[in-house]
Amino acid sequence: MRELLSIVLRRDGYEVLVAADGKAAVEILKRERLDVLITDIRMPEMTGVDVLREAKTIDPGIISIIMTAFATTDTAVDALRLGAADYVHKSPNAVNDLRLRVGKELERKRLLQENVLLKRQLGTPNKFSNIVGSSSAMMSVFELIETIAPTGSTVLITGESGTGKELVARAIHARSARSDRPFVAVNCGALPDTLLESELFGHMRGAFTGADTNKKGLLEVAEKGTIFLDEIGEMSAMTQVKLLRVLQERKFRRLGGTEEVEANIRIIAATNRDLSKMVAAGDFREDLFYRINVIPVKLPPLRERQDDVQALAEHFVEKYAAQMKKELHGISGAAMTLLRSYPWPGNVRELENAIERAVALERTPSVLSDSLPDGVRAASASPASAAAAAPPEDLTLSGGFDLEQHVQDIEREYIMEALRRSHGVKKNAAELLGLSFRQFRYLLKKYNIQ
Ligand SMILES: Nc1ncnc2c1ncn2[C@@H]1O[C@H](COP(=O)(O)OP(=O)(O)O)[C@@H](O)[C@H]1O
Ligand SMILES: [Mg+2]
C-alpha cells in the first residue's frame, strides 16, 4: 500500500517521503517541513495515533489523514479528536479516496494562508486607518492597542462619551488572534436587568414569562471572539455578580438552565463613569472592578487634544461627501478656526455629527462657517463654558437671584439642545451629554420634556 500510494501521489505531482514505521516517520517530521501526513493506524512500536500526536506537536498546522482497515471507527474518532483532517478506509477505492482528500485539504490550507496574507497586507499601509489622530495622547493610545491586542487580556476603556471607546475596542479585536471570530457589542445601560441577562447568558424555554424558546446568549454567540460590554457602570448589582463568575471561572449558565456553558471569550468593557469612585460609593463591586481593570485604556476628551480636530474634521468631510455623493473638498479657514476653538463637550461624536450636517447643508465646494451648528458658531463669540457659568451682572443681595433655578435653566437648555442636535433621538442626545440613557430619561421626566 505504501509503495502504491507513493507512486500514485508522485504521478499527481507531489513530492513524497516514505517511512516504514512510526519511529522513522517522526524522524522525518523533525527534519522536514511537510504539508500532509498519511499514516496507518496499526503499526509496530508506534501506533498511527501516536505518530499523529507527535506530528501535531512538531507542526500544529500539518494536515493528517489516517488509514484504517477496521470496521470499528473508535481509533479513527480518537485520531479526529487529535486533529486529523480525515480518515480513509482501506478498501479497493482507498487510493482514489486518498488522492481526492489530499487535493482538497491542500487547497483548503492554501486558501486559509492566502486569507491570512491578504489580511496582513490590508492591515499594513496605515495601521489605524479608521482611527484618526496624531496628538501625542492618541499616539500613546495606538501604541497601547498594538501591545495589548494580541495578549487576550481583559481591557477596560474609559473616557467621556463620544471619545471613540467602541472604535478602540474594535481595533483591539481586529488586531487579536480572535479577529476572524465575532465581535459582539452589548450596551449594558440600554436594557432592563432581566433582558440584559437573557441577552448575555441566553435562556431556556420557560425561564420567565415570554421565554417560549431556548435562546443562545451573546456570550455564546461571541464564542472564541470578543464581547464588548459598553457602559458597564450601568450594570445592576445582580448582573455584576453573574459577570464576575464568568470572569473567574470562564463558565456560566443560561437563565433557567442547569448545564454549565464554557465561555471562551475575551472581554473588553467600557464606561464613561469613574468606576473607582463608584466602587468607593458601593455602586460597583470591587472584585469585579479589579477583574475588568486588568489593562486600563484611557481616552482623553477631544478638548484636551485640540490638535486632532483639524484632521478629524477633514476625515469626516471626506467620509460624508463620499457618502452623500457631493463634490466637497475641505473646510474654509474661518470654519476651521471655529471648529478648533469649540470645546466639543460631545467629543468626536459631536464633531462627526456637526460635519455630517454641514456637508448635507453646504452648497459651495467647501464647508463654510454658515453650515456649522449655531452652538459651534456662537462659541467663538462667547466661549461656551464661561457664558453659562458666569453669574449675571445684577447679582445683588436684594436681586432675588435663585441659583438652583438658574442651574436648572441651563440644564434644561442643554437637554433641549442635545435633543435638537440628535434630531430627537433620545439615545443619541443622552450620549452627547455624557449621560446614560437612564439618567437622561430621568431628566426628561424631571423637566417634563415630551
Ligand atoms: N479618533 C477617531 N477617528 C475617527 N473617528 C472617530 C474617532 N473617535 C471617535 N470616532 C467616531 O466618533 C463616533 C463615536 O465613537 P464611539 O467609539 O462610539 O465613542 P464612545 O463609545 O466613546 O461613545 C463614532 O462614529 C466613531 O467612529
Ligand atoms: Mg459608545
Other residues' Cβ atoms within 10 Å of the Cβ of residue 350? 24
What pLDDT is recorded for position 127? 56
Please state, in angstroms and as integers, the Cα–Cα distance from residue 334 to each residue in 133, 239, 356, 376, following that order.
Answer: 22, 50, 18, 12
Check the CA dihedral 241-243-249-254 and report its sign: positive
The per-residue pLDDT of the chain, averaged, comes to 86
| Helix and strand counts by DSSP (H, E) for the chain | 20, 12
DSSP notation for 299-313: PPPGGGGTTHHHHHH
Query: How far is the centre of ligand 1, averaged over its atoms, from the C-alpha of 162 (Å)?
Result: 6
For 18-28, what is the mean pLDDT? Answer: 92
Centre of ligand 1 from the C-alpha of residue 3, in Å: 63
Single pTM value for the model: 0.61
State residue 322's pLDDT score: 93
pLDDT above 70 covers a percentage of the chain that reads 90
Cell representation of residue 18:
516514505
Checking if the pLDDT of 348 tops 90, the result is yes
pLDDT, one tens digit per residue, over 355-393 is 999 999 998 888 988 899 999 988 765 434 434 445 555
User: Ligand 2 center to residue 340 CA distance, Å?
Assistant: 23
The three cell numbers of residue 36 are: 500532509
Q: With a 6 A CB cut-off, is 311 part of the ligand 1 pocket?
A: no
Task: Please report which confidence band the pLDDT of residue 96 belongs to, taking 50, 70 and 90 as the band edges.
Answer: confident
pLDDT tens-digit readout, 312-342: 999 999 999 999 999 888 888 888 989 999 9
pLDDT tens-digit map of 67-92: 877 656 667 777 777 777 777 777 77
Among 264, 188, 170, which Cα is nearest to 233's?
188
**Per-residue model confidence as pLDDT tens digits over 281-296:** 999 999 999 999 999 9
Residue 185 pLDDT > 80: yes
**In whole angstroms, what separates CA 207 from the centre of its chain?**
29
Using CA atoms, how far apart are residues 284 and 235, in angstroms rounded to an integer? 8
Instruction: Choose the residue to mutate in 158, 309, 352, 440 for probing ligand 1, maximizing ligand atoms within 8 Å of C-beta.
Output: 352
Q: Which of 422, 396, 411, 419 is nearest to 446 (CA)?
A: 411
Q: Does 203 score more than 80 pLDDT?
A: yes
Q: Is 167 in the pocket of ligand 1 (CB under 6 A)?
A: yes
